[in-house]
């Protein structure tokens, strides 16, 4: 890799979709990203623009996607815009995610080594802010990079030039299991997924569940709409040949239990019942 290109941090762009109420501290975080030489693209993904006149003005770009394709559509729109501008590296972030701005460029380090396939997707380690634990499994290693099968979209980093082969995120899925479908399809296309042990992303996963049993089981509180997408999209996921069997079984077992907990221990019980029924009956998204 050309060292002159590597040393220019402004070749690295950050794409952040926005939806609903913005979290506290976001504006300060955006300024810290810009100070580190990162190009920031915000995608207002609300059905009607909310953030153009919200004081969220600074040295970054604001795009408007009107929630077309959900989180997948917002990310795709931002990524395609960044590629048109010619940035070499792209990192995706959630509005509730935080990686120290001066650590984000460390996600590019695996490309500097000869130990890995040049077709890479790299993400940070995930710290669950609510449960105060590391998200997912982790094994100690002599290297800072751990191979993994799945990365959440927030923190995911890749070369802009690899996007045509990686392909877009599946907008018909809208939100749940979007990262599962994209990551496993990428591996089927020859990409290697890595987590950086020394770059930590702090993430909020939903809201705290009001029921003690559900909290002990690790559930967060989501809307009935999210429950619908979770059920419908899992049905779709189980039909995809590139999704590992063990993951399909794991998610299916969880989904045999979760709907009962939604109906017994969550508010909006009628809406949750409708979400469960429709999630089991709705037509499936197109092939991906």
Q: Which domain holds residue 39?
A: 3-203
150 found inside a domain: yes
State how far the Cα of 39 lies from the Cα of 102, in Å rounded to an integer: 13
Tokens 């020394």 sit on residue: 198
Number of domain units in the chain? 2
Return the pLDDT at 57.
63
288 found inside a domain: no
Residue (of 63, 165, 154) closest to 119 by Cα position = 165
Contact yes or no for 18/43 (Cβ under 8 A): yes
Residue (of 106, 135, 136, 111) closest to 121 by Cα position = 111
Say yes or no: 115 and 167 in one domain. yes
Say yes or no: 215 and 182 in one domain. no
Contact yes or no for 16/94 (Cβ under 8 A): yes
State how far the Cα of 288 lies from the Cα of 282, in Å rounded to an integer: 18
Mean pLDDT of 144-157: 92
pLDDT tens digits for 161-180? 999 999 999 999 999 999 99
What is the value of pTM for the model shown?
0.89
Say yes or no: 78 and 142 in one domain. yes
Strands 145-147 and 192-203: antiparallel
Say yes or no: 125 and 226 in one domain. no
Return the pLDDT at 113.
79
More confident residue, 153 or 204: 153
Structure tokens at 153: 């979209």
CATH number at residue 98: 3.90.550.10
């Amino acid at each position: 890799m050309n060292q002159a290109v590597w040393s220019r941090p402004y070749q690295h762009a950050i794409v952040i979709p926005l939806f609903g109420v913005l979290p506290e501290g976001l504006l300060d975080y955006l300024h810290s990203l810009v100070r580190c030489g990162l190009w920031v693209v915000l995608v207002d993904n609300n059905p009607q623009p909310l953030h153009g006149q919200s004081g969220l003005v600074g040295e970054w770009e604001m795009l408007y996607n009107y929630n077309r394709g959900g989180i997948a559509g917002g990310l795709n729109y931002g990524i395609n815009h960044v590629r048109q501008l010619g940035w070499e590296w792209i990192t995706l972030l959630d509005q509730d995610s935080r990686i120290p701005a001066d650590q984000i460029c460390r996600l590019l380090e695996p490309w500097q080594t000869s130990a890995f396939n040049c077709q890479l997707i790299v993400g940070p380690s995930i710290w669950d802010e609510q449960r105060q634990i590391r998200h997912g499994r982790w094994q100690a290693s002599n290297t800072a990079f751990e191979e993994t099968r799945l990365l959440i979209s927030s923190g995911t980093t890749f070369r802009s030039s690899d996007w045509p082969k990686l392909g877009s995120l599946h907008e018909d899925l809208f939100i749940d299991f979007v990262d599962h479908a994209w990551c496993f399809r990428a591996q089927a296309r020859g990409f290697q997924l890595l987590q950086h042990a020394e770059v930590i992303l702090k993430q909020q996963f939903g809201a705290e569940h009001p029921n003690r049993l559900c909290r002990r089981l690790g559930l967060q509180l989501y809307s009935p709409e999210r429950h619908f997408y979770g059920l419908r999209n899992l049905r779709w996921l189980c039909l995809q040949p590139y999704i590992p069997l063990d993951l399909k079984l794991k998610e299916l077992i969880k989904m045999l239990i979760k709907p009962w907990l939604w109906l017994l221990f969550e508010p909006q019980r009628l809406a949750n019942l409708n979400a469960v029924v429709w999630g089991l009956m709705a037509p499936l998204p197109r092939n991906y």
